[in-house]
Amino acid sequence: MAYKSVLSVVTSAGQVPLAIAGAARVALANDGHLDVLSLGVDRTQVGYAYVGSGAIMMQVALERAEGEARELEGTVKAALAKEGAGLRSATEAAVAQLGALSDLVAQRARFADLVVLPRPYGKDQGAEAEAVAEAAMFEGQAPVLVLPETGLISAAPKRVVIAWNQSREALNAVRHALPFLKAAEMVDITVVDPPSHGPERSDPGGMLCQMLVRHGVKAEVSVLAKTLPRVSDVLARHVVDRDAGLMVMGAYGHSRFREAILGGATRNMLEQAKVPVLMAH
């Protein structure tokens, strides 16, 4: 398995350098193809309009979003040109309303082996950044590599930490992360406060470790106590202690009016992670 189809979605010019550099690095390392969607977002939420004015407001908003999409695509093409002739890539510009971008992003994500996105939180990020990440993971059912402000330093991190809690989501993330795991020098399966009852009560992380070793992964298990208020805090500290270059974990959400809202542990991890985080639902 390799990441032959890599997708990135950008909604603002500030995201472009980090997203393109990281996604291009993964595509080149896997001899893959990079597709970039430049998304112009109509952020207007018209609650009411006087007779005759509604259509004008919608037209103006649409034209503004189309202009943003074209500018974004130009910025993306310039960034791709800097990555060299060896990168196979394609760009596409599209427009969507904030409440309807999920379907568009999910449709593209379903046909990608990996989606590479900047962290959806920060001073320059709008609501559309989180909506894009959620659409790719929950509706597109694609693994998403979320990049911190420092970007992706290496397409083959030497040390990887897996946040393991025996869940379907965590196992799905591990399966999607296999290209990274097989290339790593050390993979740490990290279990925080394992339950005293359950299938792994006598050997937390043991079955996963066995599965990965059979794939040629150099894996080991760390069982940690919850010595900090949040599990995400323990994991973040462990990533630093292990000098890891990648975190792998399941993405958890809660249904709300057909929208997937990133759960507390997932959001906390993304907000504080200093390394790329590969997530899947």
CATH number for the domain including 9?
Answer: 3.40.50.620
Same domain, 9 and 104: yes
Same domain, 83 and 165: no
CA distance 230 to 246: 20
Which residues share a beta bridge with 89? 34
pLDDT digits 0-9 by tens, 98-117: 888 999 999 999 999 999 99
152 in any annotated domain? no
258 in any annotated domain? yes
Instruction: Give Cα separations from 151 to 15, 50, 84, 154, 187 (angstroms).
Output: 11, 47, 19, 9, 21
Range of the domain at 82: 5-147
Q: What is the pTM of this model?
A: 0.91
154 in any annotated domain? no
Last residue within a domain, chosen from 95, 124, 147? 147
| Count of structural domains, the chain | 2
Same domain, 142 and 166: no
pLDDT digits 0-9 by tens, 264-274: 777 888 888 89
Cβ-Cβ contacts under 8 Å for 69 (sequence gap 6 or more): 38, 39, 40, 93, 94, 95
CA distance 76 to 13: 8
The gap between the terminal CA atoms of the chain, to the nearest Å, is 19
Query: Mean pLDDT across the chain, nearest whole number?
Result: 90
